[in-house]
Amino acid sequence: MEKKLDQLKQRLLEVNDLNAAAALLYWDQSTYMPPGGAPARARQLATLQRLAHEKFTGPAIGKLLDALRPYEESLPYESDDASLIRVTRRLYEREVKVPTELAAEMSRHGAESYQVWTEARPDNDFERVLPYLEKSLDLSRQLADCFPGYDHIADPLIAYSDYGMTVATVAQVFGELREHLVPIVQAITAQPPADDSCLRLLYAEDQQLAFGVDVIERFGYDLKRGRQDKTHHPFETKFSIGDVRITTRVQERFLAEAMFSTMHEAGHAMYEQGVNPAYEGLPLARGTSSGMHESQSRLWENVVGRSRGFWVYFYSRLQQVFPEQLCEVPLDVFYKAINKVERSLIRTDADEVTYNLHVMLRFDLELAMLEGALEVRDLPDAWRARFESDLGMAPPDHRDGVLQDVHWFMGQIGGVFQGYTLGNIISAQVYEAALKAHPAIPDEIEEGEFGTLHGWLSDNIYRHGRKFTASELIERVTGQPLTIAPYIRYLKTKYGELYNLR
Ligand code: ZN
């Protein structure tokens, strides 16, 4: 059995290496590649994707998984070997249902589509991306149809990123959350807006980047196993547990952009750096779901990074970096500025309270497209109408409307946005559990110390990689299934105080 397990691991490492090479090509495309490299890069990514898919779904891995079943059943559920076999089988059974040609085409189309989007967005040109979006929708439907028997066509797409969740379960959680959010948003936006002009002065790029890197090193992001570069749309990517990179974007006239995106991506990266090194190169060596991943990025970005306690320590340091801009601005004004709640256009810049409305809008629109209830060419109108009804404003153009997020321009429509709001919900639930275990965490944060929190997250979440599903992990860590109650408590406490809500 040990020999069979070694053979399985060998094959899985080869698949991993092909995927890691593709990830590196994608990272390069998003950071340093000149535009002329785009057509060949799309082909190169598709080639690697095809090879990885063929290798993974060929008969060898299936036979090894069959042969290893008795061994798996003889082991406890939590053992590393049993978990590796179980998770590999789940992925294998999913991937064998997808024709290699479709996987390669989605990859090729995704790379082309991304390139077109990077040019169409600055030009405010929806017509240019329209045929690409239509093809993405068609490919996404084909992908979903590889898994017949679903209740909703988006279910198989959601299962890719948030295994265990469906349209029905997500819609129920979102519905409950929405009932709490709408009155909070109304109560806050009825008040005069907070003054965030201090964030909109001129802040030199290099100093912004250096400050962000200092913060995330203190969080626990290991720069010997990572680095940060600039891109259009920030992301985290991993080539091995020893090389987990992040990207950011800087606006010299908006201090919050790079700062919080750096904390956010570092949250993702610390999760990946913290996986048990014994899982290197194997399917267990990554975060377990997009919701769980997002909970870790939002925890560091918002629950920690936008807390008053965090700035009790870091604000004077920031003032030293930018004395002209900030020396006259008191901590409380700055704290209110970084937590300004307003109806706004851009999801990634949205405050914690309205953010989820941006996500729900996208989730509902992509369901409508997948169901065939909304034509892609009508998407900008539908976007505008929904934006007005939910956020009380209309986007002035496509650039800051329907073209703002990269997700629909990477080859697939559906199955991604729900993870953001699930992440917010889980971040509060996990943080409550961390505080229960270590009530001194907030005091440590006020002293710029994050070791206890980072250590607790490593032991309870990061280390396990994909061994447990998101729902198993939430139950283990918090003693409860997914619940919105901690998140509502968190929002009501923080914003109740900031905006004197009853
Ligand atoms: Zn994220």
Confidence band, pLDDT 50/70/90 cuts, at residue 348: confident
Report the percentage of the chain scoring pLDDT > 70.
100
Q: CB burial class (10 A; 0-12, 13-18, 19+) of residue 416?
A: buried
| Average pLDDT of the chain to the nearest whole number | 96
pLDDT above 80 for 502:
no
pLDDT band at 365 (very low <50, low <70, confident <90, very high): very high
Find the distance separating the first CA and the last CA of the chain, reported in whole Å: 63
Q: What is the pLDDT of residue 261?
A: 95
Tell me the C-alpha distance between 427 and 28, whole Å.
30
- CA of 268 relative to ligand 1 center, distance in Å: 7
Please determine, for residue 220, whether its predicted confidence score (pLDDT) is greater than 80.
yes
Mean of pLDDT values over 336-349: 92
Task: Give percent of the chain above pLDDT 90.
Answer: 93
The predicted pLDDT at position 335 comes to: 98
pLDDT at 148: 94
> Which is nearest to 346 in space by CA: 256, 438, 437?
256
Q: How far apart are CA 155 and CA 268, in angstroms?
A: 24
> Around 103, how many Cα atoms within 13 Å sit in the side-chain half-sphere?
19
Backbone angles phi, psi at 358, to 5 degrees: -60, -40
Among 210, 226, 221, 293, smallest CA distance to 259 is for 210
Q: Over the stretch 40-63, which tens digit does the pLDDT of each residue have?
A: 998 999 899 899 999 999 999 999
- Alpha-carbon gap, residue 480 to 257, rounded angstroms: 34
Phi-psi map region of 184: left, alpha, beta (phi>0 left; psi -120 to 50 alpha): alpha
- Based on its alpha-carbon atoms, the radius of gyration of the chain, rounded to whole angstroms, reads 22
CA of 117 to the centre of ligand 1 (A): 20
Report how far ligand 1's centroid is from the alpha carbon of 294 (Å): 5
Q: How far apart are alpha carbons 60 and 56 in whole angstroms?
A: 8
Contact (CB, 8 A) for 38 and 111: yes
pLDDT at 259: 97
Per-residue pLDDT band for 103 (boundaries 50, 70, 90) equals confident
Distance CA 259, CA 257 (A): 6
DSSP letter assigned to residue 122: T
Ligand 1 centroid distance, CA of 423 (Å): 9
- Show me where the domains of the chain are located: 2-148, 167-499
Active-site annotation, residues: 265
Please tell me whether residue 237 adopts helix, strand or coil conformation.
strand
pLDDT band for position 108 (50/70/90)? confident
Tell me, in angstroms, the distance from the centre of ligand 1 to residue 297's CA.
6
Task: Identify the pLDDT of residue 492.
Answer: 96
Span 290-312, mean pLDDT? 98
Residue 151 CB coordination number (10 Å) = 9
pLDDT digits (tens, 9 = 90+) for 228-248: 999 988 999 999 999 999 999
Mean pLDDT of 335-361: 93
Backbone angles phi, psi at 236, to 5 degrees: -115, 145
Whole-number Å distance between alpha carbons of 23 and 41: 12
Answer whether residue 399 shows pLDDT above 80.
Answer: yes
pLDDT above 90: residue 104:
no
What pLDDT, in 10s, does the model give residues 131-185? 999 999 999 999 999 999 999 999 999 999 999 999 999 999 999 999 999 999 9
Which residue carries 């003889």 as its tokens? 74
For residue 275, the model assigns a pLDDT of 98
Residues surrounding ion ligand 1 at CB below 5 Å: 297
Given this model, what pLDDT does residue 208 score? Answer: 98
209 Cα: distance to centroid of ligand 1 (angstroms): 19
The CA 420 to ligand 1 mean position distance, Å, reads 7
CATH of region 167-499? 1.10.1370.30
The continuous run of DSSP H or E covering 243 comes out as: strand 243-248
> How far is the centre of ligand 1, averaged over its atoms, from the C-alpha of 309 (Å)?
23
Q: What is the distance in A from the centroid of ligand 1 to the CA of 502?
A: 32
